[in-house]
Amino acid sequence: MTEKNPATEQATTVEAQSVTAHSVSEKAVFETEKSGASTSDKRAAIKQALRPQLRRTSVVEDYAAELDEMASLTHALNGSKKDDNKSDAWKIGYPYDTKLGRKAYEKEKRALQIELLKLQLWAKATGQKILIIFEGRDAAGKGGSIKRFTEHLNPRGARVVALEKPTDIEQTQWYFQRYIKHLPSGGEIVMMDRSWYNRAGVERVMGYCTQTQYFEFMREVPDLERMLVNSGIKLIKFWFSVTKQEQLARFNSRRTDPVRQWKLSPTDLEALPRWEDYSRAKDEMFVHTDIDSARWHVVESADKRKARINMIHHLLESIPYEHVERPEMTFPKKSSLPSSGYRRTDRTLQHEVPDYAATLSEAEAPECYVDLEDQGIG
């Protein structure tokens, strides 16, 4: 990348101001405790101390940071600890000691998504073809990472490919044929949520392909990927790694969450006792397909927030994109917009959607639903 990220620079400034506010608040707590003040006095002192010394400037007003700091200090006063993680399954076999906090995650995600838009603009302007393969075990976080990756991209130039199992006709074709038609054209970013590597993983372990088909795939795929790269496609392959305990915890979460139950299939459950078979298949796949022109990049994904940030950051670091200026747009003045005497059609002549939202009541609403997957939980 050839330019500094202004969003990151602004975020650094905000973080420095946050540290200052935090130091002041700690001092306030110490002084009030020393003086033997009551709990209400302590809380009042904390609120006063947390008022920012300078105006916070960021891409998004960092109001949540102050709320989190107030909450953590209140928990400290009450002798309780804040625990975002209902399960400790992620800690088993995970190479990092801590999870990424929500404040840091949201701030950096915003900055990286702005950079992704710059990448897309550059790809469109220069006709680049970018293909990103997302592979990994079930519930490893591939779909959630793709969701955050594409969240603000222009869909005209960024698409996700997630294929069903091969049809009867596709089973008669060359194995790679159904994937080839989804490759990116100039100016496109294509994300494959699983890919031709199904043959090296689930198809081999579950017996959906023959030994001959498997070995033929392993022989062909390095040559295919070299051809793709030589044709001008920027190919990046991610493998999302998750522990056995964390995968089981996520399966249990999906079983009870109605908006994610579709992600859990009988094949997922059948794969649980075959964990080591999948591990061996993955190791063999890496040996044969981790080639110089198309390396595998492993993303440790027991912490979903950290996995998403690491994946997007690595992708941006891997592609030497350049800044492309957007064309300036001049908005016309209201006085320069002439009227030709148009009058809107009578609303009674239209079939409008009923105002169902008007029947909802804040007082009767239950506690706000929290997307556990978005929070990196479950």
Judge if 34 and 124 occupy the same domain: no
Domain extent for 195: 92-318
Cβ proximity of 135 and 197 under 8 Å:
yes
Query: Which of helix, strand or coil describes residue 136?
Result: strand
pLDDT at 371: 60
Q: Model confidence over 13-55: pLDDT tens digits?
A: 434 444 444 444 444 444 544 455 555 665 555 455 444 444 3
Maximum distance among all alpha carbons in the chain? 81
Asked if residue 360 is part of any domain, the answer here is no
Is the Cα torsion angle 167, 173, 175, 180 positive or negative in sign? negative
Asked if residue 10 is part of any domain, the answer here is yes
DSSP character string of 284-340: HHHHHH-BTTB-EEEEE-SSHHHHHHHHHHHHHHHS-----PPPP--PPPGGGS---
Asked if residue 378 is part of any domain, the answer here is no
pLDDT at 291: 97
Asked if residue 262 is part of any domain, the answer here is yes
Judge if 173 and 42 occupy the same domain: no
Asked if residue 335 is part of any domain, the answer here is no
Q: How confident is the model at residue 96 (pLDDT cuts 50, 70, 90)?
A: low
Judge if 152 and 24 occupy the same domain: no
pLDDT at 22: 44
- End residue of a domain, out of 77, 107, 130: 77
Asked if residue 341 is part of any domain, the answer here is no
Asked if residue 346 is part of any domain, the answer here is no
Tally of residues, the chain: 378
- End residue of a domain, out of 275, 298, 318: 318
pLDDT at 59: 30
Lowest mean pLDDT among 34-38, 219-223, 230-234, 305-309: 34-38
Name the domain count of the chain: 2
Mean of pLDDT values over 323-340? 84
- CA torsion angle 11 15 18 23 (round to 10): -170
Q: Model confidence over 187-207: pLDDT tens digits?
A: 999 999 999 999 999 999 999
Q: How confident is the model at residue 95 (pLDDT cuts 50, 70, 90)?
A: low
Which residue did the predictor score with more confidence, 219 or 66?
A: 219
pLDDT at 29: 43
Q: CA 240, CA 306: separation in Å to the nearest integer?
A: 12
Question: 281-311: buried (b, 16+ CB within 10 Å) or exposed (e) per residue?
Answer: bbeebeeebeeeebebeebbbbbbbbbbbbb
Q: Model confidence over 350-374: pLDDT tens digits?
A: 999 999 999 988 877 666 556 665 5
Mean pLDDT of the chain: 81
Which residue did the predictor score with more confidence, 268 or 307?
A: 307
Mean of pLDDT values over 228-240? 98
| CATH number of the CATH domain containing 156 | 3.40.50.300
Lowest mean pLDDT among 91-95, 256-260, 358-362: 91-95
Q: CA 282, CA 244: separation in Å to the nearest integer?
A: 14
158: which residues sit within 8 A by CB, 6+ positions away? 120, 150, 188, 189, 190, 191
Judge if 127 and 238 occupy the same domain: yes
Lowest mean pLDDT among 99-108, 179-188, 235-244, 334-343: 334-343
pLDDT at 23: 46
Q: Is the pLDDT of residue 323 over 70?
A: yes
pLDDT at 278: 96
Residue 177, class by beta-carbon neighbours within 10 Å (0-12 exposed, 13-18 middle, 19+ buried)?
exposed
Which residue did the predictor score with more confidence, 23 or 376?
A: 376
Cβ proximity of 297 and 239 under 8 Å:
yes
Kindly state the helix (H) or strand (E) to which residue 4 belongs, with its residue range. none
DSSP character string of 182-228: TS--TTEEEEEES-GGGTTTHHHHTT-S-HHHHHHHHHHHHHHHHHH
Question: 32-62: buried (b, 16+ CB within 10 Å) or exposed (e) per residue?
Answer: beeeeeeeeebbebbeebbeeeeebebbeeb
Q: CA 246, CA 134: separation in Å to the nearest integer?
A: 19
pLDDT at 18: 43
Q: Is the pLDDT of residue 214 over 70?
A: yes
Percentage of the chain lying above the pLDDT 90 cut: 55
- End residue of a domain, out of 318, 345, 361: 318
Kindly state the helix (H) or strand (E) to which residue 131 belongs, with its residue range. strand 129-136
Mean of pLDDT values over 52-73? 37
Kindly state the helix (H) or strand (E) to which residue 236 belongs, with its residue range. strand 233-241
